Amino acid sequence: MKAYRLLTEEDTSAFCHKVTEALNKGWALYGDPSYAFDAASGKMRCAQAVTKETEGEYSPDVKLGQL
């Protein structure tokens, strides 16, 4: 199964740590990161898609963060 996640976070080092953790768990970057202003919070937010090949069949019950 190929899994997909979209990691998001405020534009702080927390975002870099979140992406780094995913990479160290076997996820791979997918596409370019995005950067946008969140008007509700008044802060900039980052997003990065990641994918991972894993055993098993897809189900909506799969906890992507635990792969």
pLDDT digits (tens, 9 = 90+) for 41-53: 999 999 999 999 9
Domain boundaries, the chain: 2-55
What digits encode the pLDDT tens for the residues 3-21? 999 999 999 999 999 999 9
HEC sequence for the chain: CEEEEEEEEECCHHHHHHHHHHHHCCCEEEEEEEEEEECCCCEEEEEEEEEEECCCCCCCCCCHHHC
Does pTM surpass 0.85?
Answer: yes
pLDDT at 65 exceeding the cut of 90: no
Convert the pLDDT of each residue in 28-39 to its tens digit: 999 999 999 999
